[in-house]
Amino acid sequence: MSPTVEQIRAMPKVMLHDHLDGGLRPGTVIDLADDIDYTDLPTHDPAELARVLTAGANRGHLNLYLDAFRHTVGVMQTRHALYRVAREAAEDLADDGVVYAEIRFAPELHTELGLTLDEVVHAVLDGFSDGSADGRIKVRALLTAMRTAARSQEIAELAVRHRDNGVVGFDIAGAEAGWPPSRHLDAFQYIHRENFHVTIHAGEGFGLPSIWEAVQYCGAERLGHGVRLVEDIKVAGDGTVTLGRLASYIRDRRIPLEMCPTSNVQTGAAESIETHPLRLLRQLQFRVTVNTDNRLMSQVTLTDEFALLVREFGYDWSDLRWFTVNAMKSAFAPFDERLELINEVLKPRFAQLAHG
């Protein structure tokens, strides 16, 4: 029998691609708006607010999808707000069965009311720490620089500065077309010189050149989304598959793909769940992982994403285990920590679930 939604919720899960400003509880958005007299919210009804933000996400283009974030970022401008959002994110993920998460945020977006970049990071890390204090989940941070701005070197240095406090890597995000990763090459080279970790949003709002630059110029260890890598894969009428050189390189090197099925459809990176490249990439044994991207805007949990794949593609426990172990192998946590979670948490629990 296929795993049920309740069983999937109970299974241990690993999240590598989840945006802090895309995962707020609707009621929290409203509370925080009241705290700072933020007047631009379209409604103060939590259910209606969730509907409005989700409707904004379902417009088939990355830039339109990102428009909804002005409200969540708008209310995340104080230490209290950042701490609360981070604490609740850790709690919500743990409630969904996530045992390890890397949550990303862009510190430069949270300084409008006077917080310094370091104060932003401290507030978020404190929230993660308190939200995971019961031991159900381990939460780490990824610091994101906006690819449309010019602060990537500053954010890279900030990430390295907090590497011993819970920050495990550096990322760039935002509108992809016209803003290639190589514009931020100095920041990536700095990260590599510091023996630190890099994941890059690529292959979502733009195609193969973005992925190629992320990997070959900027040294991405993981690809945020990477959906359009499928453009370098040809499937003939008889089912024969031919990989282009970039796709072959990424598969050979086991570069992880942080895929977010629901979000990918909403942004237009994939036409539908039925035709999502994840299925082909999984068949071809790419290092695929499953993630939510933005839990509020997409109205999904990681349980929802896995349940969707089970329903659409007929995946079973071996598939869910494969995706989950892939994610833990690909995390930026130290090797010993990854190994412990795989051997002492993931594998035993999946064995129990698979055998009823």
Distances (CA, A) of 130 to 35, 71, 296: 22, 25, 21
DSSP letters of 44-62? S-HHHHHHHHHHHHTTSSH
Distances (CA, A) of 133 to 12, 77, 129: 17, 24, 6
Point out the residues that are catalytic. Answer: 204
Which pair of tokens denotes residue 199? 């994941």
Helix segments in the chain, DSSP class H: 5-10, 26-35, 46-57, 62-66, 69-75, 79-95, 117-131, 152-161, 185-193, 208-212, 245-252, 261-266, 278-283, 302-313, 317-330, 335-341, 347-354
- At residue 295, what is the residue type? R
Whole-number Å distance between alpha carbons of 278 and 270: 10
Q: What is the largest CA-CA distance in the chain?
A: 61
